[in-house]
Amino acid sequence: MEKKKIFVLPGEIALTKQSAEISTLLGSCVAVCLYNKKLKFGGMNHFMLSTGGNKSMAGKYGDYSTRKLIDSMLRVDGNVNNLEASVYGGGAVVGHLSAGFNIGEKNIKIAVDILRERKIKIKTQKTGGDSGMKVYFNNHTGSIEVRMILKSELTLQLEAKKKDLAGRKIRVLIVDDSATVRNILHKAFDLDDEIHVVGEAEDAYDARSKILELDPDVITLDIIMPKMDGVSFLKKLMVHMPKPVIIVSSVAQKGSKMRLRASDIGAVDILDKEDLKLYQGLDTVRRILTAKVKIAAATHVKKREAREVANI
């Protein structure tokens, strides 16, 4: 008879006395496998965060989920000495929303702390790292197979970019035909210790030369400019030298066709100059734009084919 297979989604707990293969897929999430050595059965949870206050999502929190799994096992056999645990996951997976917030570490800690509090032996712990994993738990024998998820080329590129940026400031090139706007943006960036303005350009041709010379990490780009508009220049960049570009323009209002075009071509973010309150001090510009630049710097920008953007 074929063994029953159960796949555990985030927020779920699987426990059965029938022989089964219980599996899950983990990044920053954590799974605890509990096995009863005497009765030869077990279960697994899969939680996303260490703690939380949303009762309707309680299964996604490690403090609730891990205790629930333990209590469910003990209802079948109240002898805690018959239980052994294995803990998996909690990786700092690059590109995942959790990266940089230590979510994986917090998930690992809550699981381990609760198991120790309940005096349950931790037989195996394979946690942390920067890769995802697939976990296969035979709840009859207690054996567990772990298959690491190989990193994609994109993940490796993101890791390399993150490592590069960690040791230096983010290089920014400001492209705008208005000297006043360039000066305001420059001053706002200078207020952030993690950002360095490597240059300014007043039009697309000036920008092209400075991109080749200065190799910026992020470009802020106006749309209405002489000689070549920003959208046409953005197309050329995405085809020949893709870089993270943030459009900063008064014609890129929310819901506008221009905003949609810029996004479709490949801009990583688009800001309406009105939202930055450029002529009302530096606080709003600094607060909004510097945060956008830091996100953009860690973004992978895909090279486009000329035919892909020709009619956008």
Q: Would you call 262 exposed, middle or buried from its count of C-beta atoms within 10 A (0-12, 13-18, 19+)?
A: buried
Q: How far apart are CA 126 and CA 193, in angstroms?
A: 37
Q: What is the pLDDT of residue 101?
A: 62
All structural domains of the chain, each given as residue ranges with its CATH number in brackets, are: 4-150 (3.30.1330.200), 164-309 (3.40.50.2300)
Per-residue model confidence as pLDDT tens digits over 22-71: 999 998 999 999 999 999 999 999 999 999 877 778 899 999 999 999 99
Q: How far apart are CA 33 and CA 181, in angstroms?
A: 58
- Distance between start and end Cα atoms, the chain: 57
Q: What is the pLDDT of residue 152?
A: 65
Could you tell me the pLDDT band of residue 99, with boundaries at 50, 70 and 90?
very low
- Pairing type for strands 144-148 and 133-138 reads antiparallel
Answer with the residue of higher pLDDT: 166 or 118.
Answer: 118
Residues whose CB falls within 8 Å of the CB of residue 62, separated by 6 or more in sequence, listed in order: 30, 47, 49, 50, 51, 107, 110, 111, 114
Q: How far apart are CA 124 and CA 255, in angstroms?
A: 53
Q: How far from chain centre, in Å, is Cα 54?
A: 22
Q: Could you count the other beta carbons within 10 Å of the beta carbon of residue 158?
A: 18
Q: Which of 159-168, 182-191, 280-289 has the highest mean pLDDT?
A: 182-191
Q: What is the pLDDT of residue 110?
A: 98
With CA atoms as reference, report the closest residue to 230 among 203, 191, 206. 203
Asked whether the beta carbons of 272 and 258 are under 8 A apart, the reply is no
C-alpha Rg value of the chain to the nearest Å: 26
Residues whose CB falls within 8 Å of the CB of residue 21, separated by 6 or more in sequence, listed in order: 3, 4, 5, 6, 136, 137, 138, 139
Instruction: Measure the CA dihedral 134/135/138/139, to 10°.
Output: -140
Q: What is the pLDDT of residue 11?
A: 94
Is the pLDDT reported for residue 295 higher than 70? yes
- Total residues belonging to the chain: 312
Q: How far apart are CA 31 and CA 58, in angstroms?
A: 15
Is the pLDDT reported for residue 120 higher than 50? yes
Residues whose CB falls within 8 Å of the CB of residue 257, separated by 6 or more in sequence, listed in order: none
Task: Identify the three-state secondary structure at position 58.
Answer: helix
To which residue do tokens 């020949």 refer? 240
* DSSP H helices in the chain: 62-76, 103-117, 153-166, 179-190, 204-214, 230-240, 257-265, 273-276, 283-297, 306-309
* DSSP H helices in 44-117: 62-76, 103-117
Residues whose CB falls within 8 Å of the CB of residue 90, separated by 6 or more in sequence, listed in order: 26, 28, 29, 30, 104, 105, 107, 108, 127, 128
Q: What is the pLDDT of residue 161?
A: 75
